[in-house]
A and B are shown apart, each in its own frame.
Chain A
């Protein structure tokens, strides 16, 4: 309000505009009565003459803190030369007032802005805009009155100017004839009525104002100033006494304007800030600044804890919308402050921050001595800050363009975040608070489980440099696997089932990532997660999918083609790979997502650096499918059997490629693989190998060279098998040495492969050792015989189905018709698994999709069992 009075009162009002940007917008407001106001004011202020020097010095003082202080110091001489002492005093108060009542201040600024807009509109004769602005202004005034504050003279003035200009324009309009368009004219008449009405409403005030503008303004100033002086006045006395202990100059300088920001008043101002928190018109930036000041004057640990708690939460409040992310500098300072907080609490065990405490008086300073058991308990929660920090970090990564430098810059902040987390972990370890410790450890684990060793090393080195260290560090454990193992074991023991699940998955992911396929697979199978994962929350399901996919990639890298194919199969049959891995939103073809769903989906996305490259994934899947499917295709000759594909996505692509009339040189990964498959079918394993090896995406794989070598070998072997299947009918005998030469394989390997095929009855042939040849036997199957075989098979399936149904009805427990046959028992086990898998399939679309992702683990089990 004091701001207002200056606005109307004189032209120099902008001297204190250093306060904030908004205010300065009012600087250009026309100063009508400066000359008259001056003498009156100076008279009034003579008594307080000495204040001016105080002010200026305090202004200078401020310059250390305020970024825009230079402006202030520059202007203050001008201010003094005008001998506007009262003005500067008011300035002080306003400053104080601003500190307290930033809401009011903001309203005033808004009003001024509106007034300015109106002035602008007047100049261009835009009555529509004027009308709108006026309405806005009227609303604001209404609010002002609701809060029982006097009508500011600024408003009255505006009404008066409007009245004159309306009449003027109307007069002009009559003469000029049809110069205005219809809407504008309409707005003008509406405006005329509105102004008239308002003028009537405030008739009394206006006449008073017209009679004695200065008097009115003074009255207004007095009304508002009263409120301000009341509070600081009381405080000032205490501050002076308190500050005498400090550096004298500073004390005098300070208490003039930053009275509130003293050690004594900390709790009061804290309370004021806290009360304003969450209200609609609170200026959050302003609050943060106040708290920062408070932190500077805070002396005792208790004060600092209190201020830090408030400061960090208000930083988090700064950005209320969920769609956006927290500004990075804010995040960084929040991170530093959380660090400080942890440092304070960790260094002094007599302070503790708890979520639930007994009630205490917020306004009283406390110390270990005043408490009963010597421990000061403050309400607050470090763990929620850490959670929030981490979440904000992820959110910012989600929003920043991953291909820009900004992303990389941002990613560097992970190091400090990781340090903070480690520090918090150390703190909780020392305090033996298990619940938050579990959360912190989980956060830490999530930062490192998917990262390669050098990155973890870098993070750990940073954390190691800190003064507070957790029990588990890379240095103490020796290797990343050990570290992760240690963290996971802690979480397994913590008893929190969600953490246990997530830790388990992260652990498996880590093993898979480090090519320890067997351990990872055994852990996954032993965890029985595939049975319960459908009821888990979405984030965990995503983690599960990631783990499974990583395991598949791991199998691929190790050359376990079948396993890899079986694992990646499920996720690829859904055709929603990206969505299931939370690396992109799926385009719904038939129904659109609701905005909420879309938002939720977006929030779920993983930051780019955690992505598993889907193209690489697809390449791995298709190549392993090729290696499994092509020999299989070659081995079956009846049309009926051909329909049963192991890998449907691959078969689809292959069929599509078959239908192409012209095939150009391969471009995409898929093209490469499709052409390679065709080459393999034709027995041209060299071409196939070259095509597969020329896929560029392999370079993203850690051990690209060895993987390529492995692939070449597999292609040779499968090429041999395919060749034998395809051309067996054309030979009576086939020399092994020829095969060995053609496929560039050692004779021993060829013999081994052929033996395997003979043993498994895939190939009706036998070896002639003395001649070194394969002797083929051909069995001609007549149509009738073939059908007979088929029907026998079908009957068997029906019998199986019946038994399955029966068992279902019996609930599985009763062992009907148990013939004490071990094999039967085994079979039943398999059936049960299959059934379970089926049931999953029938779940809702989403659940079903996840279900398929989960069922693969069964598929894996079966696959393993079936392998011979």
Chain B
């Protein structure tokens, strides 16, 4: 199954620290030889300030060799650097944590800066110390501490570049610390910042200083954001729906199509997972985008079929484009394995399967009038008895309406779906009209529009 493993494609788009969990997962699943994964982990760690971890990895890999001396030297450096940075940062923290100061701080950053300078002689450079210390803490793995410092820095600093960098840092910290709620918040603000198209570079620290095309830059940062957000979306309870919302919005869909088509797997999986199943009795109303997610995703998959292709997308293709249930069944079997091996999707294997079965049976029932239960169970990758149980459940949950009846004598499901009466479809068609017209009326009545209208008429004349 190594063919379908995406870790290699995804890691280049992640921060060094974010890649650790992925590698750890790989070590667990055992798709790749353990030794190779360990070497990769070591190399990853040796680029950070996490010397103890790196050293222990080193010992694991080269058990008969001495740990290089440079680790100790580096450790000395780091400790001393830590001291100095902490002192610098502490000075600022002391001021900020003062209650008076906290109260007199306002929304306006410039004013705050002015105020701090006047009363406490705090300059921008000093505030930057917060950023440096936060970054430093991050580099040796103290994520929650780093998150705090970066937060404070962001509140005070006016430097757009560093602010953005701090943003990314904070997101990474939150992800690694497992605080999904804050991470989600962070993600959303970051997304807004990126979408607002600031001309300055948006790529996180390191390679941000090149003078490249802003549009390209934006694409880059969106790609990064897409990858980082996978952590959040597949861990936050509401994540899947949010993922669909985000990734199916035109800008991000474009990003995915242009620079990272492999994300389609997650998109497809999320779409499958979030289709309501009989067992999931969530009462949260879904937005229309999520409801139609499968349909939209199928369109995208079809378009990008030449670029990216794996069992998960194949399953949807076979089911909703080709209507080849046999091939869909095969693809589903493969997809199951892929999903369970995937770092992000692994936990959702059951849900994925359940929803996928639901999708299959729904499509099956819509097309057929009489269905052989045995056949259907086979299509669902279920043994006959279980299949029957499952189908009964399905019918009981009234997902299929009252039109489905089981004929046990012939082992059949009878579906009688009376055609929709004409008046019903007329009602459907005209349903939204009143609201739309109201909205239109309201818009016309809004004062701002009259002036713009006047403007356009003058320019025309």
Q: Mark A residues whose CB is within 8 Å of B.
A: 517-519, 522, 526, 748, 751-752, 755-756, 758-759, 764, 766-771, 775, 777, 779, 781, 785, 788-789, 792-793, 795-796, 799, 802-803, 806, 809-811, 814, 816-817, 819, 821-823, 825-826, 829, 864-865, 867-868
Q: Shortest beta-carbon distance, A467 to chain B, in Å? A: 39
Q: Evaluate contact between A799 and B449: CB separation under 8 angstroms.
A: no
Chain A residue with the shortest CB-CB distance to B365? A766
Among A769, A811, A822, contact of B288 (Cβ-Cβ < 8 Å): A822
In the complex the two chains form, is B412's CB within 8 Å of A770's CB?
yes
Q: Is the Cβ of B443 less than 8 Å from the Cβ of A752? A: no
Q: A766 with B299: in contact, given A792-B426, A816-B446 (CB under 8 Å)?
A: no
Q: Select one of A788, A809, A826 contacting B456, CB under 8 A.
A: A809
- Is there an interface contact between B323 and A756, defined as CB atoms closer than 8 Å? yes
- Nearest CB of chain B from residue A401's CB, rounded to whole Å: 43
Does B453 reach chain A (CB closer than 8 Å)? yes
Given A809-B456, A822-B248, does the pair A770, B410 have CB atoms closer than 8 Å?
Answer: yes
Chain B residues lying within 8 Å of A781, measured Cβ to Cβ, are 422
If A518-B307, A817-B442, A829-B250 are given as contacts, then 20 extra A-B residue pairs at C-beta distance below 8 Å, sorted by A number, are A522-B257, A756-B323, A758-B367, A759-B367, A766-B366, A766-B367, A767-B367, A767-B369, A768-B369, A768-B370, A769-B368, A775-B369, A788-B423, A792-B430, A803-B440, A810-B449, A810-B452, A811-B452, A823-B289, A864-B299
Cβ-neighbour of B370 out of A770, A789, A823 (below 8 A): A770
CA distance A764 to B415 in the complex (A): 14
Contacting residues, chain A, for B419 (C-beta < 8 A) = 764, 777, 779
Contact with A along B310-333 (1 / 0, CB 8 A): 000000000011111010000000
User: Does B60 sit within 8 A of A, measured CB to CB?
Assistant: no
21 A-B pairs whose Cβ atoms sit less than 8 Å apart in the complex: A518-B306, A522-B257, A756-B322, A758-B366, A764-B419, A766-B366, A767-B369, A769-B368, A792-B426, A802-B437, A802-B440, A809-B452, A810-B452, A816-B446, A822-B245, A823-B288, A823-B292, A864-B299, A868-B295, A868-B298, A868-B321
Q: Is A817 in contact with B440, judged by CB distance below 8 angstroms?
A: yes
| CB within 8 Å for A822 and B442 given contacts A769-B368, A789-B422, A868-B299 | no
* Alpha-carbon distance A771/B448, docked complex (angstroms): 65
Tell me the complex Cα distance, A796–B423, Å.
16
CA distance A802 to B292 in the complex (A): 26
**Which of B258, B367, B425 has its CB near the most chain A CB atoms (within 10 A)?**
B367
CA distance A802 to B433 in the complex (A): 11
Q: Please indicate the chain B residues that have their CB under 8 angstroms from the CB of A518 in the complex.
A: 306-307
Q: Does the CB pair B429–A796 fall under 8 Å?
A: yes
Across-interface contacts of A799 in B (CB, < 8 A): 433, 436-437, 440
Docked Cα-Cα span, A392 to B417, in Å, equals: 73
On whether A803 and B436 interact (CB within 8 A), knowing A518-B306, A748-B324, A809-B456, the answer reads yes
Check A822 against B249 for contact (C-beta < 8 Å). yes
Query: Once the chains bind, are A864 and B440 in contact (CB under 8 Å)?
Result: no
B371 within 8 A of A: yes
- How distant is the Cα of A491 from the Cα of B255 in the complex, in angstroms? 25
What is the chain A residue whose CB lies nearest that of B444? A806
How many whole Å from A514's CB to the nearest CB in chain B?
14
B49 adjacent to chain A (CB < 8 Å): no
Shortest Cβ distance from B296 into A: residue:
A826
The chain A residue with its CB closest to the CB of B371 is A769
Closest 4 CB pairs of A and B: A817-B439, A755-B323, A518-B306, A816-B443
Give bound CA distance, A814 to B436, whole Å: 17
Q: How far is the CB of A173 from chain B (nearest CB, A)?
A: 82
* B401-437 vs A, Cβ < 8 Å mask (1 yes, 0 no): 0000000001010010101001101100110010011
Task: Name the B residues within 8 Å of A755 (CB-CB).
Answer: 323, 367
Whether A867 contacts B324 in the complex (CB less than 8 A), given A771-B370, A810-B449, comes out as no
Residues in B whose Cβ lies below 8 Å from that of A764: 419
B250 touches A826 (CB 8 A): yes
B323 contacts A767, C-beta separation under 8 Å:
no
B165 → chain A closest CB, angstroms = 29
B298 shortest CB reach to chain A, Å: 7
Dominant SS among interface residues on chain B: helix
Closest approach, in angstroms, between the C-beta of B300 and any C-beta of chain A? Answer: 10
Q: Provided the pairs A795-B430, A864-B303, A868-B295 are in contact, do residues A759 and B368 lie with their beta carbons within 8 angstroms? A: no
Q: Which of B288, B423, B430, B448: most chain A Cβ within 10 A?
A: B430
Which one of A752, A811, A829 contacts B322 once the chains associate, using CB atoms below 8 Å? Answer: A752
Write the nearest CB–CB distance from A538 to chain B, whole angstroms: 29
A519 to B307: give the CA distance in the assembly, Å.
9
Chain A residue nearest in CB terms to B298: A868
Instruction: Determine whether B287 belongs to the interface, using a CB cutoff of 8 Å to chain A.
Output: yes
Smallest CB–CB gap between B173 and chain A, Å?
Answer: 31
- Inter-chain contact A816/B303, CB cutoff 8 Å: no
The answer to whether B430 touches A789, judged by C-beta atoms less than 8 angstroms apart, is: no
How far is the CB of A460 from the nearest CB of chain B, in Å? 29
Residues 90-129 of B contacting A (Cβ, < 8 Å): none
Q: Is the CB of B288 within 8 A of A752?
A: no
Q: How far is the CB of A82 from chain B (nearest CB, A)?
A: 84
B148 within 8 Å of A (CB atoms): no
Q: At the interface, yes or no: B363 with Cβ under 8 Å from chain A?
A: yes
Indicate if the CB atoms of B368 and A796 lie closer than 8 Å.
no
B170 to chain A, nearest CB (A): 27
Complex interface: chain A residues within 8 A of B245 (CB): 822
Instruction: Tell me, yes or no, whether B375 is within 8 Å of chain A by CB.
Output: yes
B302 at interface (Cβ–Cβ under 8 A)?
yes
How far is it, in angstroms, between the C-alpha of A517 and the C-alpha of B307 when the chains are bound? Answer: 12
Q: Is B372 an interface residue (CB 8 A)?
A: yes
Which residues on A sit within 8 Å (CB–CB) of B415? 766
Check B368 against A766 for contact (C-beta < 8 Å).
yes
B363 to chain A, nearest CB (A): 7
In the bound complex, residues from chain A placing their C-beta under 8 Å from that of B258 are: 526
A558 to chain B, nearest CB (A): 10
Flag B370-409 by CB within 8 Å of A: 1 or 0 each.
Answer: 1110010000000000000000000000000000000000
CA separation between A698 and B15, bound complex, in Å?
55
Is there contact, CB below 8 Å, between A822 and B287?
A: yes
A809 contacts which chain B residues (CB < 8 A)?
A: 449, 452-453, 456
Specify which of B302, B323, B439, B456 is in contact with A759 (CB 8 Å cutoff): B323
* Cβ–Cβ < 8 Å partners of A766 in chain B: 366-369, 415, 417
Give, as a whole number of angstroms, the nearest-CB distance from A777 to chain B. Answer: 6
A515 to chain B, nearest CB (A): 12
In the complex, the answer to whether A795 meets B433 with C-beta atoms within 8 Å is yes
Question: What is the distance, in angstroms, from B384's C-beta to the closest C-beta of chain A?
Answer: 16
Quote the shortest CB–CB distance from B249 to chain A (angstroms): 7
CA distance A370 to B301 in the complex (A): 70
A767, B250: Cα distance in complex, Å: 37
Q: Which residue of A lies closest to B437 (CB)?
A: A799
Looking across the interface, which residue of chain A has its beta carbon closest to that of B439? Answer: A817
Q: B425 contacts which chain A residues (CB < 8 A)?
A: 789
Q: In the complex, which of the residues A792, A795, A811, A825 has the most CB atoms of chain B within 10 Å of its own CB atom?
A: A792
- B324, A752: Cβ atoms closer than 8 Å: yes
Min CB distance, A776 to chain B, in Å?
10
Partner of A748, one of B295, B326, B417, B423: B326
Rounded to whole Å, the gap between the CB of A305 and the closest CB of chain B is 41
Given contacts A768-B369, A816-B443, A817-B443, contact A759 B288 (CB under 8 A): no
Contacts of A802 in B (CB 8 A): 437, 440
State in angstroms the CA–CA spacing of A825 and B252 once bound together: 14
How far does the alpha carbon of A517 sit from the alpha carbon of B306 in the complex, in Å? 9
Most buried by B among A748, A752, A864: A752
Closest to B307 in A: A518
- Interface centre among A821, A822, A823, by most B CB within 10 Å? A822
Who on chain B is nearest to A796 by CB?
A: B429
Closest Cβ–Cβ distance, residue A774 to chain B (whole Å): 9
- Establish whether residues A769 and B375, one from each chain, have CB atoms under 8 Å apart when the complex forms: yes
The residues of B that contact A758 with a CB separation of less than 8 Å are: 366-367
What are the residues of chain B within 8 A of A759 when measuring CB–CB?
320, 323, 363, 366-367
Q: Tell me the nearest residue of chain A to B244, going by C-beta.
A: A822
- CA–CA, A823 and B249, complex, Å: 10
Chain B contacts of A817 at CB under 8 A? 439-440, 442-443
